[in-house]
Structure 1
Amino acid sequence: MYRFLLTRQWLITMLIALLLIPATIKLGFWQLHRHEARVARNELIGKALTDPPVPYDALSSTPGFAVPKDLTWRAVTATGEYDPAHEFVVRKRTDSNGSIGYFVVTPLKLSDGKGTVLVNRGWVASGDGATQYPPVPAAPAGEVALTGRMRADETYGASGIKDRSGLPDRQFNLINTEEQAKESGTALLGGYLELAATTPAPADQPQLIPEPNHSDIGPHMAYAIQWWLFTAMIPVGVWVLARREAKDRAKQTGEAETLAEPVPA
């Protein structure tokens, strides 16, 4: 009844099914690992944001310091005076609504004399054109106390941003302390501070960057379950097709035998 399974067509079908099963299982585990990584990232960010703030230079005390993952988003404080002469903007950055503009980055000379920190003061809209420096609220004068989040230097390799030369004056593609140290001749502590609050509060300032969303786990677990359900459906589907063809062949054989029977005289 099932001898048709040995035909070329069915052997190819079953071979494809056998190849699909391990592939879909692997895809399911891939999505599971992405889910686990997302959950671990959210937990890390949540812990970093809720831990008591510490002075920035207690974590990054030297130029070139590479901020590790467990310190990224760490709540930090800094006290000092802004250096508006070396302020710059970072191109093609979006606000919470997806509008394209600039990040405003201003160096802060720490009051304890331990160095200078880049501070991302927030987002501003584009001005008259990409070649013009955008309208930027002035950095507060005098000594200020900041709270914010520690961030690692951006790099072309990690960000996927292309390294483009010939940009307008004081416009850059990345927030990178090594690049800015060469540009300004100032020794900068590694990483940078993403501003959350300023004391005393300025009358006008760029749009502050909101905290990262660390509650959304994404759809990866649902995708993993879908792949594994599809895995289970493959042999079931082959069995259903085989049963259907077996019934069709049996029906065709019965009809052929009926037609072949002699008609009584």
Structure 2
Amino acid sequence: MNDYRFLLSGKWLGFFLLACAAAVVSVYLGGWQMDRNDHLIGENTKITQNYRAEPLTGAGAAEQFTAHDERLTWHPVRLTGRYLPEDQVLVRNRPQDGRVGYEVLVPFRTQDGDVLVLDRGWIPTGEAANGMPDEVPAPPGGQVTVTARLQPGEPAVSRGAPEGQIASVQLEELRDRWDRPIGTAAYGEVFAEDPAPAVVPAPAPEPEIDSGPHLSYSLQWYAFAALFFVAYGYAARQQARNDAWDRQYAAEMERRLSRFYDEDGNYIGEGDEELVVRQMEMADDMPAHLKSLMRPQPRRRRSRPTWEDEEDAMLDALEHQGR
């Protein structure tokens, strides 16, 4: 374990904390994508189970507009009553079949007196430059039986709209606009009217069953969380190997340099010292902490004698005098 003692250094502790933080973020994003996948699975289940189910009728159908059970989204309901065309509004900026148009919303009063919001379908933008529709098909007059699929209301948006239009199917806004009590828990997308008028808006297209990329994205984020620690372990292993190699190399260089220099740094080799130094300096790609071993400094020539030299000279002179 001594080879991995460097893991307790500040730098490597910082790397570990960084890996932990990155893993936490990845796990959070993986969970977020998994939640979106679960939501999509739930929506697909509603479409599969409800889209072609037998319509709800009577009071049970009308109650869904005031207390909507989200599990019944896309479920058909059959209602009998009268349209209130004087309060008709258009929902702007609604794309369908590659074109931009409008959804036609009309309040509908049932035989029991409940007022509900029905979306009769989609109409395209007209040919005029003002962006308005050329014609809005009128709802059938008198008593009519409609079959529609339940949809929850939409959130409010900050965009405005011209007179007679709204930016989203925000049911509370419609209640205030019409100044009458209406069901604000859901609205209905009409796909059949009896009696059927000659011209009707285009019904909403059938929703697609789409699994989406959320599950794969979630698994990728979880894999990233694990890979951060794998990368940390791999980097630590490489550092330990490099440190062991450096120690081995330093020992080898020390053994090699001992052939040319003694412990005091004096050159003891047989060849030219300058040649040895140049050979050492050829290893310019070595790590910085090894270059001092590869490029030993040549011993300086002293122009003046040191006090040790002077002491030796005095001793030699006294020895000669005593003879």
- If the TM-score is normalised by the length of the shorter chain, which range does it land in? 0.7 to 0.9
C-alpha contact (below 8 Å) 1:61/1:114 kept by paired residues: no
State the one-letter code of the partner of 1:171.
Q
Aligned residue number for residue 202 of structure 2 = 207
State the one-letter code of the partner of 1:82.
Y
C-alpha contact (below 8 Å) 1:79/1:146 kept by paired residues: yes
TM-score normalised to the size of structure 1?
Answer: 0.80
Measured on the aligned residues, the alpha-carbon RMSD in Å equals 2.9
Q: 1:131 to 1:74 in 2, by over 3 A?
A: same
Q: CA deviation at 1:129?
A: 5.2
Counterparts of 1:145 and 1:84, CA distance in 2: 15
Aligned residue number for residue 82 of structure 1 = 83
Aligned residue number for residue 244 of structure 2 = 250
Residues 88-127 of structure 1 correspond to what in structure 2 (within 5 A)?
A: 88-97=89-98, 99-110=99-110, 112-127=111-126
Give the SS at the match of 1:2. Answer: helix
Give the SS at the match of 2:51. Answer: helix
State the one-letter code of the partner of 1:169.
E
Q: 1:162 to 1:241 in 2, by over 3 A?
A: same
1:230 to 219, 224, 233: 224
Q: CA deviation at 1:132?
A: 4.5
Give the SS at the match of 2:249. Answer: helix
Give the SS at the match of 1:154. Answer: coil
Counterparts of 1:45 and 1:171, CA distance in 2: 29
TM-score normalised to the size of structure 2?
Answer: 0.67
Deviations 1:150-200 (A, max 9, x none): 2233342xxxx1163xx4321122334544344345543443221122334
Give the SS at the match of 1:188. Answer: coil
Which runs of no fewer than 5 residues in structure 2 stay unpaired?
261-268, 271-323
Residues 44-83 of structure 1 correspond to what in structure 2 (within 5 A)?
A: 44-55=46-57, 57-61=59-63, 65-83=66-84
**Whose Rg is larger?**
2
C-alpha contact (below 8 Å) 2:83/2:106 kept by paired residues: yes
Would you identify which runs of 4 or more consecutive aligned residues in structure 1 move more than 6 Å? none
Aligned residue number for residue 146 of structure 1 = 146
Deviations 1:101-134 (A, max 9, x none): 2111123343x34333322111122233567465
Deviations 1:191-237 (A, max 9, x none): 32211223344332222112333x22322221222122222222221
Q: CA deviation at 1:81?
A: 3.5
Counterparts of 1:171 and 1:240, CA distance in 2: 62
Q: 1:26 to 1:182 in 2, by over 3 A?
A: closer
Give the count of matched residue pairs: 255
Aligned residue number for residue 36 of structure 2 = 34
Counterparts of 1:155 and 1:3, CA distance in 2: 57
Residues 14-25 of structure 1 correspond to what in structure 2 (within 5 A)?
A: 14-25=16-27
Give the SS at the match of 1:241. Answer: helix
State the one-letter code of the partner of 2:71.
D
C-alpha contact (below 8 Å) 1:122/1:209 kept by paired residues: yes
Counterparts of 2:6 and 2:183, CA distance in 1: 73
Counterparts of 2:229 and 2:130, CA distance in 1: 58
State the one-letter code of the partner of 2:86.
A
